[in-house]
Amino acid sequence: MNELVISNLSKTYSNGVQALKNVSLTIPRGMFGLLGPNGAGKSSLMRTIATLQEADSGSIRLNTIDVLRQKEDVRKILGYLPQEFGVYPKISAETMLDHIATLKGIRNSNERKEVVEALLQKVNLYQFRKKNLGTFSGGMKQRFGIAQALIGNPKLIIVDEPTAGLDPAERNRFHNLLSEIGLNTIVILSTHIVEDVTNLCSSMAIICMGEVVAQGNPNTLVASV
Ligand code: ADP
Ligand code: ADP
């Protein structure tokens, strides 16, 4: 079983903005779309699930893990691709992934080499493995971000507004990659683009002003709004 259950999650920032209002969602294995306009609360929800910020109330369970309390356990099985992520421009793709694999606890250097090479192949960057990250295009950086997020075989992958700034071909490639990953992992795709959700996701929720206003199957749900 692989399932994320969010119950009555609320968050008000210190400036008084209520970003999440009693959010409840059950997210199964596969590609899940979180659709909502800018400012809806998507990033707040993603950061909370990724254990990067606290909620005021409510709970999140990932399989048997209490996400808001067992942060270290969550981090071991989570891959997070934030909306904006910087890369070190003067480090090669291969070296960077090797560092991250070390941080994720893969101590044996031969094992790391195998993991890194397999991931570079998976995201179609193997031929660019020796290139510095500063030379990568937007699409290449996104695919590198996915490789980074996949180290350690996560059970849950969060991608926040992933295709902003990608050209159509790059977007397609990125989408195909996500679909493949979604076959045996929970993938949450946070976006304001309706087509991304209808094309890719098997279930979805719509979030607006911090509230989940609908959840279900993308085709029936989007047709009804
Ligand atoms: P908290 O309630 O989590 O303590 P803060 O108001 O202290 O939140 O802000 C945390 C961080 O988020 C700060 O670095 C702040 O600059 C940034 N931040 C503040 N307002 C916004 C906003 N409207 N959107 C995005 N980030 C913001
Ligand atoms: P989305 O990802 O859907 O654009 P966010 O979660 O970033 O939405 O923002 C939801 C609301 O919370 C917005 O009104 C935003 O300005 C506010 N907000 C986000 N982060 C912070 C923060 N750290 N401090 C204060 N307000 C924030």
Cα 145 to Cα 136: distance, rounded to the nearest angstrom: 11
What pTM does this model have?
0.85
Looking at residue 225, its pLDDT comes to 62
What crossing angle do the helices spanning 93-103 and 138-150 adopt, rounded to 10°? 30
Relative to beta strand 211-216, strand 186-191 is unpaired
Of 134 and 1, the structure prediction assigns the larger pLDDT to 134
DSSP state of 124: T
Does 127 contact ligand 1 (Cβ within 6 A)? Answer: no
Mean pLDDT of 44-61: 97
What's the pLDDT tens digit per position in 131-181?
999 999 888 998 899 899 999 889 999 998 877 777 888 888 888 888 888
H-state helical runs in 77-137: 93-103, 109-122
Mean pLDDT of 111-125: 94
Does 15 contact ligand 1 (Cβ within 6 A)? Answer: yes
pLDDT at 99 over 80: yes
pLDDT at 85 over 80: no
Cα 148 to Cα 101: distance, rounded to the nearest angstrom: 9
| Shortest-distance Cα residue to atom 7 of ligand 2 | 43
Does 17 contact ligand 2 (Cβ within 6 A)? Answer: yes
For residue 206, give both structure tokens: 């719509």
Does 14 contact ligand 1 (Cβ within 6 A)? Answer: yes
Which ligand is closest to the CA of 38, given by its number? 2
Sign of CA dihedral 99, 95, 85, 25: negative
Unique residue bearing structure tokens 């993603």: 46
Whether residue 218 contacts residue 201, with contact meaning beta carbons closer than 8 Å, is answered with: yes
Which ligand is closest to the CA of 54, given by its number? 1
| Of 42-46, 94-98, 126-130, 168-172, the least confident | 168-172
Mean pLDDT of 74-79: 91
Alpha-carbon distances of 24 from 6, 203, 210, rounded to whole Å: 5, 15, 11
